[in-house]
Structure 1
Amino acid sequence: MQPYDHNVIMQKPLSELIADELKRKIWNEEIQFGERLLETELAESYDVSRSTIREALKILESEELVVSQARKGTYVADFTDQDVNEMIELRTLIESHAFMQAMTRLESEHTKKLEEIVGKMKEKADENDWNGLFDLDMQFHSYVVGLCGNSRIIKIYDSLQVQIRTFLMHLDRYYSSPQSFYAEHKQLLEALVSNDVHTVNGRVREHIEYVETKLLGQKNDIKFKEV
Protein backbone atom coordinates (compact mmCIF):
# COMPACT_ATOMS: atom_id res chain seq x y z
CA MET A 1 0.00 0.00 0.00
CA GLN A 2 1.25 3.49 -0.81
CA PRO A 3 1.90 5.83 2.14
CA TYR A 4 -1.09 7.96 3.02
CA ASP A 5 -1.01 11.31 1.21
CA HIS A 6 -0.52 13.99 3.87
CA ASN A 7 -0.96 16.69 1.23
CA VAL A 8 -4.69 15.97 0.96
CA ILE A 9 -6.73 19.08 1.76
CA MET A 10 -7.41 18.60 5.44
CA GLN A 11 -11.12 19.13 5.71
CA LYS A 12 -11.07 16.45 8.40
CA PRO A 13 -8.43 15.40 10.95
CA LEU A 14 -6.12 12.69 9.66
CA SER A 15 -7.57 10.15 12.08
CA GLU A 16 -11.06 10.72 10.60
CA LEU A 17 -9.77 10.34 7.04
CA ILE A 18 -8.13 7.03 7.96
CA ALA A 19 -11.30 5.89 9.76
CA ASP A 20 -13.27 6.69 6.58
CA GLU A 21 -10.87 4.65 4.46
CA LEU A 22 -11.03 1.69 6.84
CA LYS A 23 -14.84 1.83 6.64
CA ARG A 24 -14.60 1.80 2.87
CA LYS A 25 -12.33 -1.26 2.99
CA ILE A 26 -14.81 -3.08 5.23
CA TRP A 27 -17.69 -2.20 2.89
CA ASN A 28 -15.63 -3.36 -0.10
CA GLU A 29 -14.92 -6.60 1.83
CA GLU A 30 -11.18 -5.96 1.67
CA ILE A 31 -11.35 -6.24 5.46
CA GLN A 32 -13.61 -8.99 6.76
CA PHE A 33 -16.01 -9.20 9.71
CA GLY A 34 -14.13 -10.50 12.76
CA GLU A 35 -10.72 -9.57 11.33
CA ARG A 36 -8.16 -8.21 13.78
CA LEU A 37 -6.86 -4.69 13.13
CA LEU A 38 -3.26 -4.23 14.24
CA GLU A 39 -2.16 -0.71 15.15
CA THR A 40 1.45 -1.29 14.09
CA GLU A 41 0.55 -2.63 10.64
CA LEU A 42 -1.97 0.14 10.02
CA ALA A 43 0.50 2.81 11.16
CA GLU A 44 3.06 1.48 8.68
CA SER A 45 0.50 1.19 5.88
CA TYR A 46 -0.70 4.78 6.26
CA ASP A 47 2.69 6.17 7.31
CA VAL A 48 1.27 7.76 10.46
CA SER A 49 1.80 7.41 14.19
CA ARG A 50 0.17 4.67 16.23
CA SER A 51 -1.66 7.35 18.21
CA THR A 52 -3.34 8.52 14.98
CA ILE A 53 -4.40 4.95 14.22
CA ARG A 54 -5.63 4.59 17.80
CA GLU A 55 -7.80 7.69 17.33
CA ALA A 56 -9.16 6.30 14.04
CA LEU A 57 -10.06 3.01 15.70
CA LYS A 58 -11.81 4.85 18.53
CA ILE A 59 -13.98 6.58 15.91
CA LEU A 60 -14.90 3.20 14.41
CA GLU A 61 -15.57 1.81 17.88
CA SER A 62 -17.94 4.70 18.68
CA GLU A 63 -19.79 3.82 15.46
CA GLU A 64 -19.89 0.16 16.57
CA LEU A 65 -18.00 -0.98 13.51
CA VAL A 66 -15.08 -2.36 15.55
CA VAL A 67 -14.80 -3.75 19.07
CA SER A 68 -11.83 -3.64 21.45
CA GLN A 69 -11.17 -6.60 23.70
CA ALA A 70 -8.91 -6.32 26.72
CA ARG A 71 -5.53 -7.99 26.13
CA LYS A 72 -6.78 -9.31 22.78
CA GLY A 73 -6.86 -6.30 20.48
CA THR A 74 -9.31 -4.60 18.14
CA TYR A 75 -11.54 -6.51 15.73
CA VAL A 76 -14.08 -5.66 13.04
CA ALA A 77 -17.47 -6.23 14.65
CA ASP A 78 -19.54 -9.32 13.92
CA PHE A 79 -23.28 -8.67 13.81
CA THR A 80 -25.80 -10.95 15.47
CA ASP A 81 -29.32 -11.91 14.42
CA GLN A 82 -30.56 -9.51 17.07
CA ASP A 83 -28.49 -6.67 15.57
CA VAL A 84 -30.06 -7.32 12.18
CA ASN A 85 -33.58 -7.49 13.60
CA GLU A 86 -33.10 -4.29 15.57
CA MET A 87 -31.69 -2.42 12.57
CA ILE A 88 -34.56 -3.47 10.30
CA GLU A 89 -37.14 -2.55 12.93
CA LEU A 90 -35.56 0.83 13.66
CA ARG A 91 -35.13 1.72 10.00
CA THR A 92 -38.73 0.79 9.29
CA LEU A 93 -40.03 2.90 12.18
CA ILE A 94 -37.88 5.93 11.37
CA GLU A 95 -38.10 5.91 7.59
CA SER A 96 -41.78 5.10 7.20
CA HIS A 97 -42.60 8.04 9.48
CA ALA A 98 -39.95 10.37 8.03
CA PHE A 99 -40.94 9.67 4.42
CA MET A 100 -44.58 10.50 5.13
CA GLN A 101 -43.62 13.71 6.93
CA ALA A 102 -41.20 14.65 4.15
CA MET A 103 -43.94 14.14 1.56
CA THR A 104 -45.88 17.13 2.97
CA ARG A 105 -42.76 19.31 2.80
CA LEU A 106 -41.55 18.24 -0.62
CA GLU A 107 -40.89 21.19 -2.92
CA SER A 108 -39.60 21.36 -6.48
CA GLU A 109 -36.00 21.89 -5.37
CA HIS A 110 -36.18 18.77 -3.20
CA THR A 111 -37.67 16.72 -6.01
CA LYS A 112 -34.92 17.95 -8.33
CA LYS A 113 -32.23 16.88 -5.85
CA LEU A 114 -33.75 13.42 -5.43
CA GLU A 115 -34.09 13.05 -9.20
CA GLU A 116 -30.40 13.91 -9.47
CA ILE A 117 -29.49 11.18 -6.96
CA VAL A 118 -31.71 8.62 -8.71
CA GLY A 119 -30.18 9.64 -12.05
CA LYS A 120 -26.71 8.93 -10.66
CA MET A 121 -28.01 5.58 -9.43
CA LYS A 122 -28.96 4.68 -12.99
CA GLU A 123 -25.40 5.46 -14.09
CA LYS A 124 -23.96 3.26 -11.35
CA ALA A 125 -26.44 0.51 -12.21
CA ASP A 126 -25.33 0.61 -15.84
CA GLU A 127 -21.72 0.34 -14.63
CA ASN A 128 -22.66 -2.59 -12.34
CA ASP A 129 -21.19 -0.58 -9.45
CA TRP A 130 -22.91 -1.90 -6.33
CA ASN A 131 -20.81 0.10 -3.89
CA GLY A 132 -21.61 3.29 -5.77
CA LEU A 133 -25.31 2.35 -5.69
CA PHE A 134 -25.23 1.74 -1.95
CA ASP A 135 -23.52 5.09 -1.32
CA LEU A 136 -26.24 6.80 -3.34
CA ASP A 137 -28.90 4.80 -1.48
CA MET A 138 -27.60 6.36 1.73
CA GLN A 139 -27.72 9.83 0.14
CA PHE A 140 -31.28 9.29 -1.04
CA HIS A 141 -32.65 8.07 2.28
CA SER A 142 -30.70 10.59 4.36
CA TYR A 143 -31.93 13.44 2.19
CA VAL A 144 -35.56 12.38 2.59
CA VAL A 145 -35.20 11.87 6.36
CA GLY A 146 -33.62 15.33 6.50
CA LEU A 147 -36.87 16.77 5.15
CA CYS A 148 -39.05 15.30 7.90
CA GLY A 149 -38.86 18.40 10.09
CA ASN A 150 -37.94 16.54 13.29
CA SER A 151 -34.38 17.37 14.37
CA ARG A 152 -34.22 14.49 16.86
CA ILE A 153 -35.25 11.91 14.28
CA ILE A 154 -32.63 13.32 11.92
CA LYS A 155 -29.96 13.13 14.63
CA ILE A 156 -30.84 9.52 15.50
CA TYR A 157 -30.79 8.54 11.83
CA ASP A 158 -27.44 10.24 11.30
CA SER A 159 -26.00 8.21 14.18
CA LEU A 160 -27.05 4.99 12.40
CA GLN A 161 -25.46 5.80 9.04
CA VAL A 162 -22.36 3.63 9.41
CA GLN A 163 -24.30 0.59 10.63
CA ILE A 164 -26.92 0.94 7.89
CA ARG A 165 -24.21 1.22 5.21
CA THR A 166 -22.53 -1.88 6.62
CA PHE A 167 -25.73 -3.90 6.22
CA LEU A 168 -26.21 -2.62 2.68
CA MET A 169 -22.95 -4.19 1.53
CA HIS A 170 -24.64 -7.61 1.46
CA LEU A 171 -27.81 -6.73 -0.43
CA ASP A 172 -26.43 -7.14 -3.95
CA ARG A 173 -27.00 -10.91 -3.74
CA TYR A 174 -30.74 -10.40 -3.27
CA TYR A 175 -31.39 -8.29 -6.35
CA SER A 176 -31.63 -9.76 -9.84
CA SER A 177 -29.52 -6.87 -11.14
CA PRO A 178 -28.25 -3.39 -10.21
CA GLN A 179 -31.03 -2.04 -12.44
CA SER A 180 -33.67 -3.56 -10.16
CA PHE A 181 -32.12 -1.77 -7.17
CA TYR A 182 -32.15 1.50 -9.11
CA ALA A 183 -35.75 0.87 -10.22
CA GLU A 184 -36.82 0.43 -6.60
CA HIS A 185 -35.55 3.91 -5.75
CA LYS A 186 -37.20 5.36 -8.81
CA GLN A 187 -40.46 3.89 -7.51
CA LEU A 188 -39.79 5.35 -4.05
CA LEU A 189 -39.36 8.80 -5.59
CA GLU A 190 -42.52 8.40 -7.67
CA ALA A 191 -44.40 7.42 -4.51
CA LEU A 192 -43.15 10.53 -2.71
CA VAL A 193 -44.20 12.79 -5.56
CA SER A 194 -47.61 11.08 -5.77
CA ASN A 195 -48.51 12.47 -2.34
CA ASP A 196 -50.24 9.17 -1.54
CA VAL A 197 -49.63 8.21 2.09
CA HIS A 198 -50.48 4.52 1.64
CA THR A 199 -48.24 4.17 -1.43
CA VAL A 200 -45.30 5.84 0.30
CA ASN A 201 -45.66 3.75 3.46
CA GLY A 202 -45.96 0.54 1.46
CA ARG A 203 -42.95 1.30 -0.74
CA VAL A 204 -40.72 2.20 2.20
CA ARG A 205 -41.64 -0.91 4.20
CA GLU A 206 -41.20 -3.17 1.19
CA HIS A 207 -37.80 -1.64 0.42
CA ILE A 208 -36.47 -2.08 3.95
CA GLU A 209 -38.15 -5.24 5.19
CA TYR A 210 -38.63 -7.51 2.18
CA VAL A 211 -35.02 -7.68 1.04
CA GLU A 212 -33.18 -7.09 4.30
CA THR A 213 -35.15 -9.78 6.13
CA LYS A 214 -33.54 -12.28 3.76
CA LEU A 215 -30.25 -11.52 5.49
CA LEU A 216 -31.47 -13.56 8.44
CA GLY A 217 -31.81 -16.64 6.28
CA GLN A 218 -28.29 -16.25 5.00
CA LYS A 219 -26.51 -15.31 8.23
CA ASN A 220 -23.97 -18.12 7.91
CA ASP A 221 -22.90 -16.89 4.50
CA ILE A 222 -22.24 -13.37 5.75
CA LYS A 223 -20.90 -14.38 9.14
CA PHE A 224 -23.67 -13.10 11.37
CA LYS A 225 -23.57 -14.74 14.77
CA GLU A 226 -26.41 -16.14 16.80
CA VAL A 227 -27.02 -14.39 20.10
Structure 2
Amino acid sequence: MPGSSTISKQSFDVQTANILREMIVSGNLEAGSRLTEAKLAEQFNVSRGTVRAALHKLSNEGLVTQVLYTGWSVIAIDAQDAWELHNLRRVLDGLAARLAAERIEPAGAKLLQAAYQRLCQASEVGDPKDIANADFEFHKLIVALSGHRRLQEHYKLTEQQIRVFIASCDSGYSDYQNIGHRHEALVDAILSGDADGAERLAKEHNAKHGDALISNMRQMESQA
Protein backbone atom coordinates (compact mmCIF):
# COMPACT_ATOMS: atom_id res chain seq x y z
CA MET A 1 0.00 0.00 0.00
CA PRO A 2 1.39 3.46 -0.89
CA GLY A 3 2.25 5.95 1.84
CA SER A 4 -0.44 7.48 3.99
CA SER A 5 -2.63 10.23 2.58
CA THR A 6 -5.10 12.48 4.39
CA ILE A 7 -8.44 13.53 2.97
CA SER A 8 -10.34 16.61 4.03
CA LYS A 9 -13.22 15.61 6.28
CA GLN A 10 -15.52 17.73 4.11
CA SER A 11 -14.85 15.65 0.98
CA PHE A 12 -16.06 12.25 2.26
CA ASP A 13 -16.72 9.34 -0.13
CA VAL A 14 -16.34 11.25 -3.41
CA GLN A 15 -12.80 12.40 -2.65
CA THR A 16 -11.92 9.01 -1.23
CA ALA A 17 -13.15 7.34 -4.42
CA ASN A 18 -11.25 9.86 -6.56
CA ILE A 19 -7.95 9.15 -4.81
CA LEU A 20 -8.40 5.38 -4.87
CA ARG A 21 -9.39 5.53 -8.55
CA GLU A 22 -6.21 7.37 -9.47
CA MET A 23 -4.14 4.92 -7.43
CA ILE A 24 -5.68 2.02 -9.36
CA VAL A 25 -5.49 3.56 -12.82
CA SER A 26 -1.90 4.74 -12.29
CA GLY A 27 -0.83 1.30 -11.09
CA ASN A 28 0.06 2.43 -7.56
CA LEU A 29 -2.46 -0.16 -6.44
CA GLU A 30 -1.61 -3.30 -8.38
CA ALA A 31 -4.19 -5.58 -9.97
CA GLY A 32 -5.45 -8.10 -7.44
CA SER A 33 -4.38 -6.02 -4.43
CA ARG A 34 -6.51 -6.72 -1.36
CA LEU A 35 -8.27 -3.71 0.18
CA THR A 36 -9.76 -3.56 3.66
CA GLU A 37 -12.10 -0.89 4.90
CA ALA A 38 -10.36 -0.61 8.27
CA LYS A 39 -6.88 -0.02 6.82
CA LEU A 40 -8.14 2.47 4.22
CA ALA A 41 -10.13 4.34 6.87
CA GLU A 42 -7.00 4.65 8.99
CA GLN A 43 -4.82 5.64 6.02
CA PHE A 44 -7.16 8.38 4.80
CA ASN A 45 -8.42 9.43 8.25
CA VAL A 46 -12.09 8.91 7.37
CA SER A 47 -14.82 6.62 8.67
CA ARG A 48 -15.27 3.04 7.50
CA GLY A 49 -18.69 4.04 6.18
CA THR A 50 -17.05 6.65 3.94
CA VAL A 51 -14.57 4.08 2.66
CA ARG A 52 -17.34 1.55 2.07
CA ALA A 53 -19.35 4.07 0.03
CA ALA A 54 -16.26 4.94 -2.03
CA LEU A 55 -15.52 1.27 -2.71
CA HIS A 56 -19.10 0.64 -3.81
CA LYS A 57 -18.75 3.54 -6.26
CA LEU A 58 -15.55 2.05 -7.67
CA SER A 59 -17.25 -1.33 -7.84
CA ASN A 60 -19.95 0.18 -10.05
CA GLU A 61 -17.16 1.50 -12.29
CA GLY A 62 -15.65 -1.98 -12.54
CA LEU A 63 -12.40 -1.09 -10.77
CA VAL A 64 -12.80 -3.15 -7.59
CA THR A 65 -14.69 -6.27 -6.61
CA GLN A 66 -16.06 -7.29 -3.24
CA VAL A 67 -14.77 -10.61 -1.95
CA LEU A 68 -17.15 -12.35 0.43
CA TYR A 69 -15.91 -12.37 4.04
CA THR A 70 -12.44 -11.01 3.12
CA GLY A 71 -12.97 -7.44 1.89
CA TRP A 72 -12.28 -5.96 -1.50
CA SER A 73 -9.73 -6.38 -4.28
CA VAL A 74 -8.52 -4.34 -7.24
CA ILE A 75 -9.69 -5.77 -10.55
CA ALA A 76 -7.25 -7.85 -12.57
CA ILE A 77 -8.00 -7.47 -16.28
CA ASP A 78 -7.48 -10.76 -18.09
CA ALA A 79 -7.20 -11.39 -21.84
CA GLN A 80 -10.97 -11.75 -22.26
CA ASP A 81 -11.58 -8.44 -20.44
CA ALA A 82 -8.95 -6.73 -22.60
CA TRP A 83 -10.47 -8.17 -25.79
CA GLU A 84 -13.95 -6.96 -24.82
CA LEU A 85 -12.73 -3.47 -23.87
CA HIS A 86 -10.61 -3.21 -27.01
CA ASN A 87 -13.49 -4.02 -29.34
CA LEU A 88 -16.04 -1.98 -27.40
CA ARG A 89 -13.70 1.00 -27.44
CA ARG A 90 -13.21 0.75 -31.20
CA VAL A 91 -16.99 0.82 -31.79
CA LEU A 92 -17.69 3.68 -29.38
CA ASP A 93 -14.69 5.76 -30.48
CA GLY A 94 -15.52 5.19 -34.14
CA LEU A 95 -19.11 6.38 -33.75
CA ALA A 96 -18.04 9.32 -31.59
CA ALA A 97 -15.43 10.45 -34.13
CA ARG A 98 -17.95 10.23 -36.99
CA LEU A 99 -20.55 12.28 -35.13
CA ALA A 100 -17.96 14.80 -33.91
CA ALA A 101 -16.78 15.35 -37.50
CA GLU A 102 -20.35 15.82 -38.71
CA ARG A 103 -21.16 18.51 -36.14
CA ILE A 104 -17.81 20.14 -35.35
CA GLU A 105 -18.06 23.88 -34.59
CA PRO A 106 -15.40 26.52 -33.83
CA ALA A 107 -15.74 26.17 -30.05
CA GLY A 108 -15.42 22.39 -30.24
CA ALA A 109 -12.52 22.68 -32.66
CA LYS A 110 -10.60 24.82 -30.14
CA LEU A 111 -11.22 22.29 -27.38
CA LEU A 112 -10.05 19.43 -29.59
CA GLN A 113 -6.90 21.25 -30.67
CA ALA A 114 -6.11 22.11 -27.05
CA ALA A 115 -6.59 18.49 -25.93
CA TYR A 116 -4.35 17.33 -28.78
CA GLN A 117 -1.65 19.80 -27.79
CA ARG A 118 -1.81 18.66 -24.16
CA LEU A 119 -1.36 15.05 -25.29
CA CYS A 120 1.61 15.98 -27.49
CA GLN A 121 3.21 17.94 -24.65
CA ALA A 122 2.71 15.06 -22.22
CA SER A 123 4.24 12.68 -24.76
CA GLU A 124 7.30 14.89 -25.16
CA VAL A 125 7.87 14.95 -21.40
CA GLY A 126 7.46 11.18 -21.31
CA ASP A 127 5.70 10.59 -17.99
CA PRO A 128 3.55 7.43 -18.51
CA LYS A 129 0.84 8.53 -16.06
CA ASP A 130 0.44 11.98 -17.64
CA ILE A 131 0.41 10.48 -21.15
CA ALA A 132 -2.28 7.95 -20.23
CA ASN A 133 -4.42 10.66 -18.60
CA ALA A 134 -4.04 13.05 -21.54
CA ASP A 135 -4.77 10.22 -23.98
CA PHE A 136 -7.94 9.28 -22.11
CA GLU A 137 -9.12 12.90 -21.82
CA PHE A 138 -8.54 13.41 -25.56
CA HIS A 139 -10.76 10.48 -26.53
CA LYS A 140 -13.34 11.34 -23.87
CA LEU A 141 -13.60 14.84 -25.37
CA ILE A 142 -14.37 13.38 -28.79
CA VAL A 143 -17.21 11.42 -27.20
CA ALA A 144 -18.50 14.66 -25.67
CA LEU A 145 -18.19 16.47 -29.03
CA SER A 146 -20.38 13.80 -30.63
CA GLY A 147 -23.40 15.44 -28.99
CA HIS A 148 -24.89 11.97 -28.47
CA ARG A 149 -26.16 11.76 -24.90
CA ARG A 150 -26.78 8.01 -24.84
CA LEU A 151 -23.36 7.32 -26.35
CA GLN A 152 -21.82 9.39 -23.56
CA GLU A 153 -23.81 7.45 -20.96
CA HIS A 154 -22.66 4.09 -22.36
CA TYR A 155 -19.06 5.30 -22.53
CA LYS A 156 -19.23 6.40 -18.90
CA LEU A 157 -20.21 2.88 -17.79
CA THR A 158 -16.80 1.51 -18.74
CA GLU A 159 -14.64 4.63 -19.03
CA GLN A 160 -12.50 3.84 -15.98
CA GLN A 161 -11.78 0.33 -17.24
CA ILE A 162 -10.98 1.91 -20.62
CA ARG A 163 -8.51 4.20 -18.82
CA VAL A 164 -6.74 1.11 -17.49
CA PHE A 165 -6.69 -0.41 -20.98
CA ILE A 166 -5.35 2.81 -22.56
CA ALA A 167 -2.57 2.96 -19.98
CA SER A 168 -1.69 -0.67 -20.74
CA CYS A 169 -1.59 0.03 -24.48
CA ASP A 170 0.49 3.20 -24.06
CA SER A 171 2.99 1.32 -21.91
CA GLY A 172 3.70 -0.90 -24.92
CA TYR A 173 5.22 1.98 -26.88
CA SER A 174 8.99 2.29 -26.89
CA ASP A 175 8.83 5.85 -28.26
CA TYR A 176 6.58 7.92 -25.98
CA GLN A 177 7.19 11.11 -27.98
CA ASN A 178 5.22 9.77 -30.94
CA ILE A 179 2.07 8.85 -29.00
CA GLY A 180 0.65 12.35 -29.27
CA HIS A 181 1.48 12.81 -32.95
CA ARG A 182 -0.21 9.50 -33.81
CA HIS A 183 -3.51 11.33 -33.17
CA GLU A 184 -2.84 14.06 -35.72
CA ALA A 185 -4.63 12.41 -38.65
CA LEU A 186 -7.72 11.80 -36.50
CA VAL A 187 -7.76 15.43 -35.35
CA ASP A 188 -7.42 16.65 -38.95
CA ALA A 189 -10.27 14.40 -40.12
CA ILE A 190 -12.64 15.66 -37.42
CA LEU A 191 -11.72 19.31 -37.96
CA SER A 192 -12.23 19.00 -41.72
CA GLY A 193 -15.62 17.32 -41.30
CA ASP A 194 -14.45 14.04 -42.88
CA ALA A 195 -16.86 11.72 -41.04
CA ASP A 196 -15.89 8.55 -42.93
CA GLY A 197 -12.18 9.18 -42.40
CA ALA A 198 -12.63 10.09 -38.75
CA GLU A 199 -14.56 6.90 -38.01
CA ARG A 200 -12.02 4.73 -39.85
CA LEU A 201 -9.04 6.35 -38.13
CA ALA A 202 -10.65 6.10 -34.70
CA LYS A 203 -11.31 2.38 -35.19
CA GLU A 204 -7.79 1.76 -36.46
CA HIS A 205 -6.20 3.81 -33.68
CA ASN A 206 -4.15 1.69 -31.28
CA ALA A 207 -5.40 -1.48 -33.02
CA LYS A 208 -1.86 -2.81 -33.49
CA HIS A 209 -0.81 -2.30 -29.87
CA GLY A 210 -4.18 -3.37 -28.50
CA ASP A 211 -4.09 -6.63 -30.47
CA ALA A 212 -0.48 -7.22 -29.40
CA LEU A 213 -1.36 -6.64 -25.73
CA ILE A 214 -4.25 -9.12 -25.91
CA SER A 215 -2.09 -11.69 -27.71
CA ASN A 216 0.61 -11.41 -25.04
CA MET A 217 -1.95 -11.74 -22.25
CA ARG A 218 -3.43 -14.86 -23.83
CA GLN A 219 0.01 -16.38 -24.21
CA MET A 220 0.88 -15.69 -20.58
CA GLU A 221 -2.44 -17.12 -19.39
CA SER A 222 -1.90 -20.30 -21.42
CA GLN A 223 1.51 -20.78 -19.79
CA ALA A 224 0.27 -20.17 -16.25
Same fold (TM over 0.5): yes
- Corresponding residue to 1:4 among 6, 9, 16: 6
Match of 2:132 among 131, 134, 140: 134
Residue in 2 aligned with 1:65?
A: 63
For 1:212 and 1:177, how far apart are their aligned partners in 2?
Answer: 16
| SS of corresponding position for 2:28 | coil
Is the contact between residue 191 and residue 200 of structure 1 (CA under 8 Å) also seen in structure 2?
yes
Runs of 4+ in 1 over 4 A off after TM superposition: 223-226
Please name the residue that 1:185 is paired with: 183
CA separation of 1:224/1:22 partners in 2, compared to 1, >3 Å: closer, same or farther?
Answer: farther
CA distance in structure 2 between the partners assigned to 1:214 and 1:40 by the alignment: 40
Number of aligned pairs? Answer: 221
CA-based RMSD of the aligned residues comes to 2.2
Q: In structure 2, the residue corresponding to 1:68 is in which secondary structure?
A: strand
Whether the 8 Å contact between 2:64 and 2:73 is mirrored in structure 1 is yes
Deviates more, 1:13-22 or 1:110-119: 13-22
Offset, 1:27: 2.0
Alignment counterpart, residue 46 of structure 1, candidates 18, 38, 44: 44
* Cα separation, 1, equivalents of 2:161 and 2:49: 25
Q: Distance in 2 between matches of 1:35 and 1:172?
A: 22
CA offset at residue 57 of structure 1? 0.8
Q: Which residue of 1 aligns with 2:201?
A: 203
One-letter identity of the residue aligned with 1:164: I
Alpha-carbon offset, residue 50 of structure 1: 1.1
CA contact (8 A) 1:78 1:225 kept: no
**Correspondence for 2:72:** 74
2: distance between equivalents of 1:116 and 1:39? Answer: 40
Q: CA contact under 8 A between 2:116 and 2:183: conserved in structure 1? A: yes
Identify the structure with the greater helix proportion. 2
Q: Is the 8 A contact 1:34 1:75 kept in 2?
A: yes
Is the alpha carbon distance of 1:26 and 1:148 closer, same or farther for their aligned partners in structure 2, counting shifts above 3 Å? same
Gap change, CA 1:74 and 1:114, over 3 Å in 2? same
Tell me, yes or no, if the aligned pair for 2:100 and 2:145 is still in contact at 8 Å: yes
Q: How does 1:12-23 map to 2 (within 5 A)?
A: 13-23=11-21
**Could you give the per-residue CA deviations for residues 103-141 of structure 1, whole angstroms, max 9, x where no partner exists?**
011011111111111111222122112211221222211
Encode CA deviations 1:132-159: one digit per residue, 9 max, x unaligned.
1221222211221122232111111122
CA contact (8 A) 1:91 1:208 kept: no
**Matched AA of 1:116:** A
Which residue is equivalent to 1:160? 158
Cα 1:31/1:220, change in 2 over 3 Å: farther
Whether 1:217 aligns to 2:218 is no
Q: Distance in 2 between matches of 1:70 and 1:191?
A: 49
Q: In the superposition, relative to structure 1, how do residues 224 and 107 fare at CA in structure 2: closer, same or farther (>3 Å)?
A: farther
TM-score by length of 1: 0.88
Q: Give the share of equivalent positions with the same residue, in percent.
A: 27
Deviations 1:66-118 (A, max 9, x none): 11121122111112322112111211111111211110110111111111111
Deviation at 1:197, TM superposition (A): 3.4
Task: Give TM-score, length-normalised by structure 2.
Answer: 0.89
| Offset, 1:195 | 2.6
The answer to whether the 8 Å contact 1:81/1:225 transfers is: no
